[in-house]
Structure 1
Amino acid sequence: MKNQITFIFLFLVLFSFGQEKDVQVILLAGQSNMAGAGNYEDLDVATLKRINAVSNRVKFSFNGALPLPLSYTKNKPSKKYNFKKRFGPEIFIGLTLAEKYPNKTFLLIKRSQGGTSLYGAWNPEWDAEKAKLLEKGSFKQNLKLYSLHMEDIKSNLKRLESQGKTYNISGLAWMQGENDAIHEASVKSYKNNLCKLIDAYRIDLNVSKLPMVLGQINSRYGIEGGADRVRQAMVKFVNQDYYTSLIKTSKDTAWLDYPKHKDNVHYNTEGQKRLGLAFANRLINFIENIKGK
């Protein structure tokens, strides 16, 4: 009996040392296309099984909520999106990363709000006058999205620490920019505001090489030429920062690269699937190239 107890104790000790302790943290931020309008029930059975198979290793925290196994979020059916289960790029980011690294666990922390700007609500140097200039309605005019996201992140990290877990903050996925195309001031300053944004994340999280992957906007509204200038600002931004990458998109309204809903603004189920895959593969490139440096 004594030998058996000793064996069991040694087994448990060795087992605990052999477990993957680090949690890979992925940050997600932006406006409506980051929030996502994919219909979870449109995904095929094989994909749903794959998501379910990794969900115990991929937790997802959305807009301050406690992290849950990777899955859909609830949607109130409407004329525009008549379904109950919606998702954004997090589903295929989480799935792709988990399948690439089967011995690791992941935590995705997302903050998103449709119809908001980097100039206003997302500005880490939030200013009431700038917010009123770009954001519609008192709710969005008083939103400090960067600060809220930072609160989300730090509360999640503190929770991991309280559980005795270590973590690596592996990257930031950014899908935003449409609302900054509507005003000259926000268009003109978009590249500089991206610089301020990633600097703020890197400083506040003490991750000097934090990678940032951006999804390029391809909307058609805003001031004349505004969307094109925001697109160009994204290109210039990634060209000057080694630890950033741009997912380029087509302006062709057939939307063959990343399919959209009939509103020609928001990505549909297939579009969100491809967007999530693109984000994940860029993040994997950074993870593989930065580790050990």
Structure 2
Amino acid sequence: MLGILTLNATVKEIPNPLPDPDGKLGDATKPVKVYVLAGQSNMVGMGNLSGAKNVYTGVYLSSDPVVPEGPVQIYRVGNYKASTLKVFLPDGTPTEKPVAEGQLEVPQHGVYQLHCGFGERSFGEMQLEGKEVYRRDAGGEPVKQDVTLKPGKRYAFKISGFKGTPPRFWMQKTDLLGNGDLEAVAKREGKFPWLVDGGGKWTVRNDVYFQEARLAKDGKGSPLSATSNGKTIGPELGFGHVLGTFHDEQVLLIKTAQGNRSLGFDFRPPSSGRTDPDNKFESLEYKLMVEGVRKTLDNIAEIIPGYKGQGYEIAGFVWFQGHKDSFTEKLIADYEKNLVNLINDVRKVFKTPKLPAVVAAVGFGGHNMQDKFLRILKAQMAVGDAKQHPEYAGNVASVDTRDFWCEVDESPKSEDYHYNRNAETYMLIGDALGRAMVGLLGGKAEPFPLTPRPKRVAGQQTAEPSEEQKVAAQKALRPIIMDGIAPTYIDNPRYNAALLSEASGQRPKRANQFLRGSMYGLINCYHAAGIHDYDWHDFGTDLNKAQWDYFSFDPSETLPVEKGNRYRKVTHPEGMANWFASEFDEGKAGWKKGLQPFGQLDGKLAALSENCTGHFCRCGVKPKTLWKKEVLLIRAPIDLPMLKEGHRYRIVVGGAAHVNSGEGYAIYVNGKLLAESKTGVFVRQGGQPRGAHIYSDVRD
């Protein structure tokens, strides 16, 4: 039975927050209110229900306005997020100056630790809401307390025990839980409280039935809850809760959506005509949408719990799509025309000339959206503008979703075309669509309050910071890195033992041709903070000026030229078996003298690469001495100052730091084998210096 659309006789206002579901079925004496939800993958629903993991190794906030906003990647250590903290004077006035007393506001719910000052300026006490959260006495270590803070609330702080200008302070978020899945958003952060009952379980709306009519064979449905769509949610959850609150009648949501589908081709409405009549896929999704709705309504008695033959009314159409049409100029240009035809054809096929329709505009990137999506957004917003489409005044509404965008660090995954799989985004879009639909039906809906999202200033993404700004940013990050990131790295059980071993010069149980151990990550922390006191540097004789004795030969143990991994045991020329011994006489053996680097390219003195700039590789440097044959033996007397305890020393073998390059080598010192590698550089091993460390057993 197809009913005629009617509006509520009395104006009903939808509050925020929504009331909890009462568990009752809808009024079975009135026709079921039917809503058709269509679109591509974002209407299918890509908001994760659970399982989100934090994309950052650490999250830090600083009262110093010079701290750079955004990711801070420290190679081999982690990917961190740094941002400035909102700080206010006691009267609520925003300030960027260092202050001893004021208010602070965090952007994200979580557990935090506060750190005050840096170095000699880190002694003192800090209180938050009258409670001590940080203290460091002279000669002692900092004592910090965990505090749970919420966004949107200002917390009073006070710093004491310092001399002169108040020190800057910074915060570390210690509960690096996943963000943006529905479990985190609703159960942990307390948003959308009507989704969770008193026992912490998902609520169920028995007065709203959700039916998936496109992807599941013969359809699949359930009373609306967070799990109705499986492991992900779409706009149906937020939309259904609003309309379930608005209607006394039973509500039926019919979703007919499929991923990777365009409006201009897959959903192409009949009124837009055909561009490829012989292609069976053109307009197929439109036909399947209509078919899915009709099949569902034909079986409504079996689908709706407690159905008593009261019939139904198709009450509204919801459209959420737009990504696929961005791939071609033609589909972008025709989007508005095709959307108008879609709305009109849906009304025609279901015999509802004024069927209310709401359109969710694309929101990829929020207010930092690409131009191609902005053009689609403009087309989608146009149909809800009575000035541009007066025929739709009061019966079509468009929803701008850009304010609902959440960044990667707020979300389960970096997947911009699926709104980073952020469940809050999908809830907000669905809720806004529902409230817009209520308005078209003659009701009123209180707007959902949102924290303003930052809007991009023109050109800010491409502006390269000056050297002065880079130095200032490093200095501002230094307290976070040196008192936060570096100590955490050192204390990590994964690295701690290796760091102690490397620092003492202890020989590892397992030899490694590559010279980057756990200490490399710690050095990168220092580099990120602008500190280079612990960099490797040349020591002793300048080897580039040293005269090397050398000999090159082709061994009798031959291998095909094309075969790799050529390092092997070979027979040396007569009299050269002990070529590495201290007493070996190079002159008698007929050796030549030359300068490093040794090498060749197709028999010529030419660099192996035009692009390599690695100072430890040097394959981009033209050789000074020709390496003519397969095996190369080189030796030279090297004068070194006394090696000191507490220092680290290494010998670097250049010319092969790239994947699938280089061969094995052996290094001898005073006639004794120091290190040997029997292989070159394999996949995922590139970009590292090769050679040997001088351990304490040799150093001492």
Of Structure 1 and Structure 2, the greater strand share is in 2
* 1:151 and 2:151 aligned: no
- Paired residue type of 2:258: Q
**1:33: how far off?**
1.1
Report the residue type matching 2:207 in the other structure: R
* 1:126-181 Cα shifts (integer Å, max 9, x gaps): 7473897xxxxx9xx46711111111111222223786231121111111011111
- For residues 125-274 of structure 1, the aligned pairs below 5 Å read 125=270, 127=274, 129=276, 141=281, 144-160=284-300, 164-219=309-364, 225-239=371-385, 240=389, 241-242=392-393, 243-250=395-402, 261-267=413-419, 268-274=422-428
Superposed displacement of residue 217, structure 1: 0.9
Q: Distance in 2 between matches of 1:262 and 1:276?
A: 21
Counterpart AA for 2:30? K
Q: Which residue of 2 aligns with 1:281?
A: 435
Aligned equivalent of 1:58, options 190, 198, 208: 208
Separation in structure 1 between the aligned mates of residue 435 and residue 299 of structure 2, nearest angstrom? 28
User: Residues 19 and 148 from structure 1, CA distance in 2 versus in 1: closer, same or farther, beyond 3 angstroms?
Assistant: closer
2:238 and 2:430 in contact (8 A); partners too? yes
Task: Identify if the C-alpha distance between structure 1 residues 91 and 254 changes in structure 2 by more than 3 Å, giving closer, same or farther.
Answer: closer
Task: Give the Å deviation of 1:24.
Answer: 0.6
Whether 2:253 is the aligned partner of 1:114: answer no
Paired residue type of 1:32: S
Counterparts of 1:30 and 1:106, CA distance in 2: 20
In the TM superposition, residue 110 of structure 1 has moved relative to its aligned partner by: 0.6
Identity of aligned residues (%): 27
Aligned residues: CA RMSD = 3.2
Between 1:38-47 and 1:225-234, the stretch displaced more is 38-47
CA distance in 2, matches of 1:130, 1:254: 41
Q: 1:165 to 1:259 in 2, by over 3 A?
A: farther
1:54 touches 1:95 (CA, 8 Å); kept in 2? Answer: no
Contact 1:176 1:217 in 2 (8 A): yes
- Return the alpha-carbon distance in structure 2 between the equivalents of residues 31 and 120 of structure 1: 12
1:49 is aligned to 2:197: yes
Tell me how far apart the structure 1 counterparts of residues 234 and 299 of structure 2 sit (CA, whole Å): 24
Superposition deviation, residue 204 in structure 1: 0.5
User: Are the counterparts in 1 of residues 208 and 250 from structure 2 also a CA contact under 8 Å?
Assistant: yes
**Alignment partners' CA distance in 2, 1:253 and 1:54:** 27
Taking a change above 3 Å as real, the CA distance of residues 252 and 155 of structure 1, as seen in their structure-2 partners, is: closer
Q: Which residue of 2 aligns with 1:135?
A: none
Quote the offset at 1:194 in angstroms: 0.5
CA distance in 2, matches of 1:100, 1:156: 23
- Listed as ranges, the gaps of 5+ residues in structure 2 are 1-26, 51-181, 188-192, 303-307, 445-700
Give me the TM-score of the superposition, normalised by structure 1.
0.75
Whether contact under 8 Å (1:259, 1:271) holds in the other structure is: no
One-letter amino acid of the counterpart of residue 151, structure 1: E
CA distance in 2, matches of 1:188, 1:158: 37
1:253/1:264 contact within 8 Å kept: no
Q: Please give the per-residue CA displacement for 1:5-50, whole angstroms capped at 9, x wherever unaligned.
A: xxxxxxxxxxxxx843311101101111111112234343552339
- Listed as ranges, the gaps of 5+ residues in structure 1 are 1-17, 76-84, 133-137
Residue 38 (structure 1) aligned to one of 17, 34, 47 = 47
C-alpha contact (below 8 Å) 1:183/1:226 kept by paired residues: no
Q: Secondary structure of 1:118's match?
A: coil
Partners of 2:412 and 2:377 lie apart in 1 by 18
> CA 1:274 to 1:253, structure 2 compared with 1: closer, same or farther past 3 Å?
closer
User: Offset of 1:225 from its aligned partner?
Assistant: 3.5
Where 1:206 maps in the other structure, the secondary structure is coil
- Cα distance between partner residues in 2 of 1:238 and 1:130: 31
| Alpha-carbon distance in structure 2 between the residues aligned to 1:131 and 1:259 | 43
**Matched residue of 1:70: which SS?**
strand
Q: Distance in 2 between matches of 1:63 and 1:142?
A: 20
Aligned residues: 252
Structure number with greater CO (CA < 8 Å, separation at least 6) is: 1
The one-letter code sitting in structure 2 at the alignment partner of 1:238 is G
In the TM superposition, what is the alpha-carbon distance from 1:252 to its structure 2 partner? 10
Match of 2:460 in 1: none
Are the aligned partners of 1:22 and 1:104 in contact in 2 as well (CA < 8 Å)?
yes
Q: Which residue of 2 aligns with 1:9?
A: none
Aligned-partner Cα distance in 1 for 2:208–2:246: 12
Structure with the higher fraction of residues in helix conformation:
1
Would the alpha carbon gap of residues 269 and 204 (structure 1) be closer, same or farther in structure 2, given more than 3 Å must change? same
Letter in 1 for 2:245: E
